[in-house]
Structure 1
């Protein structure tokens, strides 16, 4: 069944539209799987050879066409040999996505905020499981440069492995706070303010929880606390301190806390 004529000449069917749509999805996910690997340079080189082959066909350069055609045949074998790690990793990620049966993640690429929330959540979960104390500050609109300067400046990509390493017991920076903005781990081993007067309600809290409440009360930052005594996860924001939270709740709070910042960044693009 023809839907319409393209340029008044070419018959376009529903199957043609579906075909183009599916090929576009495959090409998009192939790009995502291989982005940042050596295979990207290989694709660029292959594209240049393809352009050369088309030009050679156009100009009737028979010897060049024969040479490029044979190179393409050998190139398929070379790709499999040279890029085994990348191909294996890509197939593994596809299998993991299908195994989780998460259709949203399979057909719609996760936003940067969701990925960051999951990275922080994974780190918090591991720290809580092992009862490693942690103090993670999520900066918002109010800058925390004065507190970041008390620790070691990192400006590193947010990753669960790095966060876990920073709070590993006996590491040089594990006793201080880690300060994050919406794009990076700003600093580690930072010193946070303690309340000048401790209320009767706060007297049962440890130093991490008191410092978290004190900082959250004076700015718009959200502070995640992992207790080394109980492994409980808490969040301090404004004048409140919520305790015994699940990792899922922590991830949702992170997304709520940074939602406006990410929306603002996306609107500028």
Structure 2
């Protein structure tokens, strides 16, 4: 019987005319070097220590998690997702493609990734600034007030009086991040905190009543302070006034607590980390201030984050108002 060679295998004579002795096009087009990066990756992974791999994985995961916490709920969240996708694609190119293949595609990815990172730094500078500010919010950088109950009592008493009389007010309480730049242009007081002084500052005939008061510890350090305003599109309730926008604007930039009394409705609100809670009763205000000013109870919500399920006028707030 006639035997023919085909691809290293012996074939019977009746198959001689049906098959060619030439090698298959696929094996000819795909060089052995194409699989070398994958083989090298397997070799590198086999040489890794399980502890080294675990530590590297945890460090990378922690960095990604911290970055995501800072940008979640902000405009930068979508950009971070896109950059992560580009990083993963770039890593895939480096791992699974040999150096002599797809050089132009790899060149475009490398340069575009650097350009995207630079553009993100420029476009999302406010979010990055908040993230850097958060690094200085450890309790050991700035002492916390020791007499929190006295501070809370003075603020609750003053806000209750102002609310009943529908006198507008905005009070910012400094925490770990200093407000020295914010109070520039205001009237420096350095007066002892008291409910009576707060009431007199926000009396309608007082020239300082339209601006904010800044409290540091047991002192009213400044009055007539102009706060940065939040963008209108950042406000979930477009009907709120300038005081509420200023409260949200400052709380997005720093970790200060901002209490607002509406001049139209007398409603008491509190802003913290970009979140605005409205229609607080005096008891609710006392509870919130105590929780936020107590170091062990301070929330860990990152700057600029607004919870998606937060409503500016939730049903429980409306019930409290009525």
**Length-normalised TM-score, structure 2:** 0.45
SS of 1:173's equivalent in the other structure is coil
Which residue is equivalent to 1:186?
221
CA offset digits 1:165-185 (Å, max 9, x no partner): 000002110000000012211
Which residue is equivalent to 2:252?
217
Counting only pairs closer than 5 Å after superposition, residues 170-209 of structure 1 correspond to structure 2 as: 170-199=205-234, 201-209=236-244
Which residue is equivalent to 2:163?
128
Contact 1:202 1:210 in 2 (8 A): no
Which residue is equivalent to 2:98?
none
Indicate whether 1:112 and 2:147 are aligned. Answer: yes
List alignment gaps of at least 5 residues for structure 2.
1-145, 297-322
Indicate whether 1:144 and 2:179 are aligned. Answer: yes
* TM-aligned CA distance change 1:241 to 1:136, over 3 Å: same
SS of 1:142's equivalent in the other structure is coil
* TM-aligned CA distance change 1:129 to 1:145, over 3 Å: same
The separation in 2 between residues aligned to 1:189 and 1:202, in whole angstroms, is: 26
List alignment gaps of at least 5 residues for structure 1.
1-110, 262-269
* TM-aligned CA distance change 1:200 to 1:142, over 3 Å: closer
Deviation at 1:199, TM superposition (A): 3.9
Counting only pairs closer than 5 Å after superposition, residues 1-269 of structure 1 correspond to structure 2 as: 112-199=147-234, 201-260=236-295
Q: Number of matched residues?
A: 153
Contact 2:269 2:278 in 1 (8 A): yes
**Length-normalised TM-score, structure 1:** 0.54
Contact 2:235 2:245 in 1 (8 A): no
Deviation at 1:162, TM superposition (A): 0.1
SS of 2:233's equivalent in the other structure is coil
Contact 1:140 1:257 in 2 (8 A): no
* TM-aligned CA distance change 1:122 to 1:197, over 3 Å: closer
The separation in 2 between residues aligned to 1:220 and 1:200, in whole angstroms, is: 18
SS of 1:140's equivalent in the other structure is coil
SS of 1:225's equivalent in the other structure is strand
SS of 2:221's equivalent in the other structure is strand
Largest Rg, 1 or 2: 2
The separation in 2 between residues aligned to 1:258 and 1:230, in whole angstroms, is: 27
Contact 1:151 1:191 in 2 (8 A): yes
Contact 1:182 1:258 in 2 (8 A): no
Q: Pairwise CA RMSD of aligned residues?
A: 2.0
* TM-aligned CA distance change 1:226 to 1:197, over 3 Å: closer
